[in-house]
């Protein structure tokens, strides 16, 4: 079993390889690797990330088949299905690390800010459900000085949304809370830069 610290180091090393263009994932996606995993999987970390096509967790962390249990949803929001997926992976596979992975210029966060500033009643109820989950963490920013600087506002909102998702995972599940309290699970936030490819991990306490 890989500890949370070791898993985090492995992700950081993989991201450095991705940024440098020194990838080694090709061998991990070979037919032999696929056949080895056909009977069982043992991912070493759980990634709750955004569905954005530019932020595939396996690629940006330079990992291969069977390495990561990846959950992707627009805006890396936390809803019951995402919580259940994290619970499943933590209990079934013994993963000790969960990373909530947001990214710069997130469209879901941007759409939420737009909806809060210019409400649109005709929005799809399904899209609105995503906006409604992001709104509580970013609404207060519109009352700050950031409202006059759109770029800084969006960046702050992206980070606020990531931190809110971390809190929701830590506190929204008795199973996960027990694992966190017993130090069997670490849940951290991280932000991927579309511009540089670098993943910045937040402090575990934030």
Output the furthest CA–CA distance in the chain (Å, rounded).
55
pLDDT digits (tens, 9 = 90+) for 6-56: 999 999 999 999 999 999 866 677 888 889 899 999 999 999 999 999 999
What residue ranges define each of the domains in the chain, with the CATH number in brackets? 4-201 (3.40.1050.10)
User: Can you spell out the DSSP letters for 77-92?
Assistant: ---HHHHHHHHHHHHH
- Predicted confidence at residue 186, as pLDDT, reads 97
- Predicted confidence at residue 24, as pLDDT, reads 84
- Region 129-144: what's the mean pLDDT? 93
- Predicted confidence at residue 110, as pLDDT, reads 96
Rounded to 10 deg, the angle between the 174-181 and 150-171 helix axes is 90
pLDDT digits (tens, 9 = 90+) for 77-133: 999 999 999 999 999 999 999 999 999 999 999 999 999 998 877 668 898 899 999
Q: How far apart are CA 191 and CA 194, in angstroms?
A: 9
- Predicted confidence at residue 138, as pLDDT, reads 95
Token pair recorded at residue 25: 């994932």
* Local confidence band at 64 (pLDDT 50, 70, 90 cut-offs): very high
Q: Residues with Cβ < 8 Å from 184, sequence gap 6 or more?
A: 96
Give the helix/strand (H/E) hosting 69. Answer: strand 68-72
- Region 183-201: what's the mean pLDDT? 98
């Amino acid at each position: 079993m890989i500890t949370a610290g070791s898993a985090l180091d492995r992700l950081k090393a993989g991201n450095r390889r991705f940024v440098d263009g020194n990838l080694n994932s090709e061998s991990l996606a070979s037919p032999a690797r696929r056949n080895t995993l056909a009977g069982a999987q043992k991912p070493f970390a759980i990634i709750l990330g955004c569905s954005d096509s530019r932020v595939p967790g396996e690629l940006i962390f330079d990992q291969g088949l069977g390495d990561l249990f990846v959950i992707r949803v627009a805006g890396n929001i936390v809803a019951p299905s995402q919580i259940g997926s994290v619970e499943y992976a933590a209990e079934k596979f013994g993963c000790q690390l969960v990373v909530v992975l947001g990214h710069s210029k997130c469209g879901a966060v941007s759409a939420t800010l737009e909806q809060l500033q210019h409400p649109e009643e005709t929005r799809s109820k399904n899209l609105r459900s995503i906006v409604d989950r992001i709104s509580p963490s970013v609404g207060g920013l519109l009352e700050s000085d950031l409202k006059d600087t759109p770029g800084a506002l969006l960046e702050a909102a992206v980070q606020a949304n990531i931190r809110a998702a971390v809190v929701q995972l830590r506190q929204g599940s008795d199973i996960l809370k027990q694992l966190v309290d017993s130090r069997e699970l670490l849940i951290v936030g991280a932000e991927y830069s579309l511009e540089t490819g670098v993943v910045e991990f937040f402090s575990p306490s934030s």
